Each structure stands twice: as structure tokens, then as C-alpha cells.
Amino acid sequence: MREIVLDTETTGLDPLRGDRLVEIGCVEVVNRFVTGQVFHRYINPERPMSPEAFAVHGLSDAFLSDKPVFRDIAADFLAFIGNDPLVIHNASFDMGFLNAELKRIRKGPLASDRVIDTLMIARRKHPGQQNSLDALCARYGIDNSRRTRHGALLDAEILAEVYAELTGGKQSSLLLAGDDRTGRSAETNLTGVLVRQSEVPVISLISAEERELHRSFVSEIGEKALWNAYFAAESKS
């Protein structure tokens, strides 16, 4: 399933008082795994930056002065997100700004029922604990050392990792031995963990050319490269 992990930066805290978007960052994930496809734009907000917001993200009026306005990037943004679910941390904030910008250019709002709010997921999973993005990174051992300041694309990339941990996405295909009650076939992978076989074939996201380039790269590493074991298993299947 395709989902879009999204984050924004703004001139302030309240779109109803005229605060505007200054940055949008989106990361495409398919079945909880990052594909490498991203959407990232800086936006001229057509109004001054508040000192408080500048302290958070460091985007100055001078830096944003030659960037496109929201109207000029809206079509590309909407095309990238399509109709897929939007994964956002504290979604009411970002959605408020996005829908305010869309309203200004007479576009319909993004529906709230397509939003997955990771803050709500974290609060249910870790009640009574800190559930900021930094706190979740610390809890799940995710490296956020690059996050010296907020940035929409960087925060979306980090959130994609957090989302996978919150939802168990990285391990959702693994089963404990003897616990398959579905009757579906299973086999042991290279690490000795029992893996449930999907009833629907998984479509490869890489081309034949990319596959060959990867094989060539692995051959340069040497015979001890872990990927050689996967290639051997693949050739037997």
C-alpha cells in the first residue's frame, strides 16, 4: 500500500491569523518501506517570518523571497500525494495550513479521513509518556542527530522510520515458529525466522537494469557479501 509521510514548516502557529506555509516535505512509502520518491518545496509565504518560527526552522525572509508561491507548486504537490493516505505527526497542525492554502487558491480541502496521525498512534501505544518526534526517535533507537533544526523533508524522512516502528511494519511479515493458524504456507528465511508466504505475488519495485547494477556492485564487495546468500537462494527458487 502506498502512503505519503508529510511534514510542513510555517511562518507561525495559526493559519486563521494569516500564518503561511514555507516548506513542504513528502516521502513515499510502500508497505512501510521508503521508496526514495520524495516531494520537497520551499514556498514564498508573501508575509514576514515570525522570530519564533525562524528560531525553529531557520528559514529567513531573504531565503524565501525568490521561492515560488503556493499556487505555483500546488498542482505538483497534489499530483504527488494523489489519493493516498497521509501520515503526519500532529496532523491537525499541518492539515490546517494545507487546507488554508488550498482554500486561498479555490481548491477543495484534503479530507481528514485520509490522514494517519502518528501522534495519536503514539499516545495510544505509550500513554502518559513524551511522544514528540525526538522522544519517539530516542525510544526506538532512530538516529536523529541531523535534526539540529526542523526541516520538512528531513522530519518526513525521520517520521517514516518512526511510523514503521509504531506500526510494526518492518516485522509484519515475520511469524513465531508454530504460530501460523491461517493454514497458509510458510518457510524459514536465511536468519532462521519463519516467514509467512503472501497469497499475492509481490511486485518488484526495481527494474532489470537496476537489479544488474546491484549485482555488479555486490560482486565488487567480494564473496563474503551477505547479498550473495540471497542471490543463491533466489536462483534456487
Q: pLDDT tens-digit profile of 28-47? A: 999 989 999 999 999 999 99
pLDDT of residue 189: 41
Nearest to 3 by CA among 186, 156, 140, 227: 156
> What is residue 197's predicted lDDT score, i.e. its pLDDT?
44
pLDDT band of 229, cuts 50, 70, 90: low
Evaluate whether 94 touches 6 at the Cβ level (below 8 Å): yes
Q: Which residue has the higher pLDDT, 213 or 151?
A: 151
pTM of the model: 0.72
Residue 27, pLDDT score: 97
Considering the domain 2-170, what is its CATH architecture? 2-Layer Sandwich (3.30)
Q: What is the reported pLDDT for 225?
A: 64
Element of type H or E holding 221: helix 208-221
Domain boundaries, the chain: 2-170, 175-236
- 229 burial (CB, 10 Å; 0-12 / 13-18 / 19+) is exposed
In 10 A of CB 61, how many CB atoms? 14
Q: In the annotation, is 40 catalytic?
A: no
**What is the secondary structure of 80-100 as a DSSP string?**
HHTTS-EEETTHHHHHHHHHH
In which band, very low, low, confident or very high, does the pLDDT at 182 lie, cut at 50, 70 and 90? Answer: very low
State which amino acid sits at residue 205. Answer: L
From the candidates 40, 126, 150, 214, which is the catalytic residue? 150
